[in-house]
């Protein structure tokens, strides 16, 4: 759905739960309402690591 896909970087002050494997500054992609925003709050179950060989544009378009 248009406006749900995103790719970006976790902020340094992101409240990341222990044991999830993500780190501040890490590149991520996913899908959640509000992806047109410059910054957004996303639940951890909607995030996946974005490999270094994939651009942000490709990552945002990869969501199915």
User: Average pLDDT for residues 54-62, to the nearest whole number?
Assistant: 89
Domain range for 44 is: 5-61
Q: Report whether pLDDT(8) > 80.
A: yes
Q: How many domains does the chain have?
A: 1
**Is residue 59 within 8 Å of 50, Cβ to Cβ?**
yes
Q: Report whether pLDDT(64) > 60.
A: no
Give the helix, strand, coil percentages of the chain, each rounded to 5: 15, 20, 65
Q: DSSP code of 36? A: T
Cα-based angle 45, 51, 54 (whole degrees, multiple of 5): 115
- Give pLDDT, residue 27: 97
- Structure confidence by residue, pLDDT tens digits, 33-51: 878 888 888 888 999 999 9
User: Average pLDDT for residues 21-42, to the nearest whole number?
Assistant: 89
């Amino acid at each position: 759905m248009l406006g749900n896909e995103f790719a970006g970087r976790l902020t340094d002050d992101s409240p990341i739960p222990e044991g999830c494997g993500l780190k501040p500054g890490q590149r991520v992609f996913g899908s959640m309402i509000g992806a047109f925003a410059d910054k957004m709050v996303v639940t951890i179950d909607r995030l996946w690591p974005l490999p270094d060989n994939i651009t942000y544009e490709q990552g945002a378009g990869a969501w199915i």
